A and B are shown apart, each in its own frame.
Chain A
């Protein structure tokens, strides 16, 4: 299977995604420049972290207008697996592919550390290697990770089982400590923590492979 890592001007976890797939999953992976209009040859699309367009205006607010985002939308509709991490998550919410928005962290400071994440939904194609309630460790590194949804949408998220990850402790002020959500259809995941930074024993953490590995397992089975 073939992964695409989208590169926007200012992306900087593109390298992290690339090596997590290449060395962690040992799958095929390519960088795709944001001007690309066709993503049909890829099986999984990753929107990496970073500061696309310098986070000008709002994180992800400009990247959503990149030509590649139309192609991302098309592939999402076809049911392909799409994962947005950190800035990638911000772009997916700005593009309307995921509900909610990411605000500045409660403490107004950038936070970089490894935190405990609780799995809320183990039925998604991104979490089948995990159990509901399981606690894993993942790095976070963001200044705008404070997830917000209104009450009505929150209710919907719960009804549809769209909350995939929560922080064990309040980290950044996110509504109900939400760290990652999935779309209703169940093929587009957005999360602030970085599974792609936790793929090698040398880095002291391989918990990210639960998530990235689940994608591979489920692709073999034919996806959603």
Chain B
């Protein structure tokens, strides 16, 4: 056993610490348990000291970070349960199973809390699809998500997909799940009651996914391919049965505590539940239903076989549990009991195979790393816009922007997902945010994920604020008040000072924006070591956000509704072109500073739009983001199948007027007799508002200072916008 801890991802100092906790050398099973529990993936040992900045309190917060998922009060004795999680490394080397089990894991986190999952979202980042490997990853990640979510009968209603070179060797697959529950039925993973039986329910335990959590906490390199066996294999049918069985079981009050067996399997679920309850657990591995013979204690404790749960049951009610699971054709085996000594004690063949304090497994060492502004940052942020030669034909530029991979319609992806099952999807994918009704009430829930990694790369603090602001803005565009965040922080190796600087500033940015906008963070996930041989990814703090709609009849969508409606631009265009899609697509440049954000102005814009929708004054609303005013306009026109004629007066350069990505802006359409009222309200909210045109015809026409700069048939733009991704994926 020559420094085997190093192979398991532990440092010499950590190994010493284990010895001092135990007062002896750990055996291999114990070492394995520490190695997974003390991995970044399970312990957040590099990020925890930073995460404490995030605002996690609010009047709606029933459960903040630390449980399987966050819970928010939405009134009428109902609560929303939400969580996002990454499955980046598994998806890099085995995209289909990696993505599928990412979805499976996040769904379990939601129903573990006792909630019925009602929606999935997926935030994806890939390289550009011009090589075979990247296409293979895209094709299989999407298929993996589709096959798992579709079979579960949980609609995949939204998300986002970006294509950037920085994700080529290390794609990001972040899955978010949302559930609804009656407030008084929330379950938690807190083991209680000395002598209460501990049961493993659901699938059998096999050799798949052993050490997955440790693998997720290392950079990817050539040898990563060899770690394929540490990727779990998913079975959505098994999970569907597990979901129904668990929800049926919760109808009884036999369950004391429950936790999903995800990363680090039996080890994490047992020690986390025990530590939360201040108790211990004794586990007899001879009683765990296995799918393979002669598994060692090490393998059983570290297996990440999917579709399993660990449940603490009221003593004497094991049979009730068994009966429910038998109905659904699933295992339910009593494997141990809650003890009073705070130890996780693992037995096999009557012998003690591991005996460690539960709390020591969950209290991993924490590291505050050194930070350093990257040496390249200053040069990156310098951009002399005057050196950018304006394009000769803005029509061509608009077509290029509209059909860029990041702006083009994601229809090719989301039509592979069943986004309608359960018949609650009121606003389907492709709009600013998805909206679901809540049957039996007047309420609705709006959901979105957001992050522009490019902005975060150029200026992590501001870019991360924008991720929060834009998510909130998107929710407001459909008429929902933002109520909570679940974040998925995807970064490179935190042991590198530059990456740690990015991580820290990003968290501070999220904190600032959440505080100013009054939106608490209730759950989340950190994924570090996202680096391949081609370097680190862009810092990508994905923001998942939920919004509440009190009256589902008062919502809005981005499509233009009627000819002759007036088009109004809200907010101020400051001609910010740094980090824009326009700069990338038309000039192959990723530099400058991202657009700046004034959270006070942002808040006013959001409140104005919410009020306009509530009062029924506007017919369409669409956030201005990537691609600027021009892209927002075209998207509203295409989805409404109506042309538009715009006339702008500006002191900005024509191309900047069209494509600047200045924040806190929106395009709305209004019936002509409501224009005055809308402009007056905008004035009250101190939001700049300009009537800029009219919905009419079959072309997109834009005049700037009296000169026609854009005149393109809607049909042509629609074809490039809708067809681009399909074309990329199908061409050889």
Contact = CB atoms under 8 A, between A and B. Distances in A.
B422 A141 contact: no
B552 A202 contact: yes
A102 to B, nearest CB: 16
A50 B237 contact: no
Nearest to A24: B423
A223 to B, nearest CB: 27
A141 B418 contact: yes
B418 A112 contact: yes
Contacts of A113: 415
A61 interface: no
Given A51-B151, A202-B552, A203-B425, A141 B420 contact: yes
A135 B148 CA distance: 33
Given A51-B240, A54-B235, A111-B415, A12 B153 contact: yes
B420 A139 contact: yes
A112 B241 contact: no
A43 interface: no
Interface stretch (A15-23, A119-127, A178-186, A214-222): A15-23
Nearest to A53: B237
B421 interface: yes
B422 A15 contact: yes
B393 to A, nearest CB: 35
Contacts, number: 84
Interface in A180-208: 194, 196-197, 199-200, 202-204
A54 B329 CA distance: 13
Interface string A10-38: 11110110011000000000000000000
Nearest to B552: A202
A187 B249 CA distance: 38
A132 interface: no
Nearest to B412: A109
Interface in B93-145: 143
Nearest to A200: B423
B136 to A, nearest CB: 15
B426 interface: yes
B146 interface: yes
Contacts of A13: 153, 421
B237 A51 contact: yes
A112 B437 contact: no
A149 to B, nearest CB: 26
Interface in A38-71: 49-51, 53-56
A50 B243 CA distance: 15
A113 B421 CA distance: 11
A109 B730 CA distance: 13
B439 interface: yes
Nearest to B437: A202
B150 to A, nearest CB: 6
Contacts of A202: 426, 437, 552-553
B381 to A, nearest CB: 42
B426 A112 contact: no
A39 B150 CA distance: 29
Contacts of B437: 202
Contacts of A110: 146-147, 150, 416-418
Nearest to A9: B241
A143 interface: yes
A134 B310 CA distance: 54
Interface string A92-120: 00000000000000000111110000000
Given A9-B241, A141-B421, A196-B423, A50 B153 contact: yes
Contact of A111 (B153, B416, B425, B439): B416
B439 A141 contact: no
B298 interface: no
B236 interface: yes
B423 A12 contact: no
Interface string B233-259: 001111011000000000000000000
B338 to A, nearest CB: 32
A146 B439 CA distance: 33
B152 interface: yes
Contacts of B420: 112, 139, 141, 194, 197
Contacts of A139: 420
B419 interface: yes
B196 to A, nearest CB: 29
B328 interface: yes
Nearest to A194: B420
A112 B416 contact: yes
Given A55-B151, A143-B150, A203-B426, A12 B240 contact: yes
Interface string B432-444: 0000010100000
Contacts of A199: 423
A199 B151 CA distance: 23
A111 B422 CA distance: 17
A153 to B, nearest CB: 30
B416 A10 contact: no
Contacts of A20: 423
A15 B418 CA distance: 15
Contact of B417 (A11, A51, A56, A112): A112
A141 B418 CA distance: 6
B236 A54 contact: yes
Contacts of B151: 10, 12, 51, 54-55
Interface in B694-732: none
A109 B140 CA distance: 11
Most buried by A among B150, B415, B421, B553: B421
A203 B416 contact: no
Contacts of A203: 423, 425-426
Contacts of A15: 153, 422-423
A54 B237 contact: yes
Given A10-B151, A10-B237, A111-B416, 14 more contacts: A13-B421, A15-B422, A15-B423, A51-B150, A51-B236, A51-B240, A53-B237, A56-B237, A112-B414, A139-B420, A141-B420, A141-B421, A197-B423, A203-B426
25 contacts: A9-B241, A9-B329, A12-B152, A15-B153, A16-B422, A49-B421, A50-B153, A53-B237, A54-B235, A54-B237, A55-B237, A56-B237, A110-B417, A110-B418, A111-B415, A112-B416, A113-B415, A141-B150, A141-B420, A199-B423, A200-B423, A202-B426, A202-B437, A203-B423, A204-B426
Interface of B: 143, 146-147, 150-153, 235-238, 240-241, 328-329, 414-423, 425-426, 437, 439, 552-553
Per CB-CB distance, the 9 closest pairs between chain A and chain B, nearest first, are: A12-B153, A54-B237, A51-B151, A141-B418, A16-B423, A112-B418, A110-B416, A110-B146, A113-B415
